[in-house]
Amino acid sequence: MSLYDEYCLICGGPPGDIDLDDLAQQVLTGQCSSPLGTADPRAVAQALATVKANLGWVKHWVGITSDERRWDLGEYTGDGCFRLPDSEQQFLPEGPWRSSHIRMNKWREKRGQPPRELPPYDGPSGIVFHRSCEQVLQADLDYQPSHRALIHRLRDGFNRDGNLVEGLDYGPIVGCFEQYFDYVKAIVDGIDWMLRDPLVHRRSRERIVEMWRNFPRLLM
């Protein structure tokens, strides 16, 4: 089973499932796969500690299914799903799942083969995003993301950006999308502030509001 990070539909941020202490040790010992450029390894390691201290918010996610039911999600499993509190079921982000199916049908079309229907999933599935990001849209733009409005506007990407909205400019954070979010690149590029909780960090909040300010009207 492949492991990869899922990304927030609203801000493009990660699920925070990586051991940043271990990553900092890799930076200090020269074993980090992400290039540091001219950055001081000690400064990058210290910045990782700061990111970790302010990263708790990204572990709180919300899912919305096709019936517009809102689900409070548990921890990210690392393989594309979120645990559901007090349940053995998991919540599947529908974006990458749907996108992988679209890509498979394009591959079949090139070979003259008929398309296949989207396979069933024995559990809830839908759009997913950070709880803090949802609260910013509600408070600042009086907007509630809905499955109906957004599910068919998700990007045709697999694992990397299949859960992001087509037409939204997420900015340089998408350059950190790998199998796992590249925290070191975010620090080296000076955009680690995008990983701060938008409910308490002004610049992070303003970024989300600016991204979405005119977008909800396009979805009505």
103 alpha carbon, distance to own chain's centre: 20
Please report, as a single letter, which amino acid is at residue 150.
Answer: L
**Contact between 145 and 129 (Cβ < 8 Å):** yes
Other beta carbons within 10 angstroms of residue 59's beta carbon come to: 16
What's the pLDDT score for residue 2?
A: 64
* Amino acid identity, position 47: A
Per the structure, the count of domains in the chain is 1
Task: Tell me whether residue 4 is in a domain.
Answer: no
Whether 149 is in a domain gets the answer yes
The verdict on residue 50 lying in a domain is yes
pLDDT, one tens digit for every residue, the chain (220 residues):
467 888 999 999 999 878 999 999 999 999 999 999 999 999 999 999 999 999 999 999 999 999 999 999 998 988 788 999 888 889 988 865 565 555 566 667 778 888 777 666 678 889 999 999 999 999 999 999 999 999 888 876 655 666 789 889 999 999 999 888 999 999 999 999 999 999 999 999 999 999 999 876 555 4
**What per-residue confidence (pLDDT) applies to 207?**
97
Task: Give the dihedral of Cα atoms 211, 131, 81, 12; nearest 10 deg.
Answer: 20
Of 8, 5, 7, give the one whose Cα is nearest residue 133.
8
Q: How many H helices and E strands in the chain?
A: 8, 5
Q: What is the pLDDT of residue 196?
A: 98
Cα separation, 25 vs 80, in Å, equals 26
Q: Which of 103, 147, 154 is nearest to 125 (CA)?
A: 147
pLDDT for 116 equals 72
Predicted confidence at residue 1, as pLDDT, reads 43
Concatenating the DSSP letter of every residue in 49-115 gives HHHHHT-GGGG-EEEEETT--EEEE--B-SBS-EE-TT-S-EEEEHHHHHHHHHHHHHHHHHTTPPP
Asked if residue 150 belongs to a domain, the reply is yes
pLDDT of residue 163: 77
* Structural domain harbouring 81: 20-218
In a domain, 186, yes or no: yes
Q: Which two tokens stand for residue 58?
A: 């990204």
Structure tokens at 189: 């590029």
Greatest alpha-carbon span in the chain: 55
Task: Decide: 23 and 14 in contact? Cβ < 8 Å.
Answer: no
Instruction: Give residue for tokens 């400064």.
Output: 43
48 found inside a domain: yes
Q: What is the pLDDT of residue 112?
A: 85
**What is the Cα–Cα distance from 166 to 196, expressed in whole angstroms?**
24
**Look-up: residue for tokens 């070979």?**
111
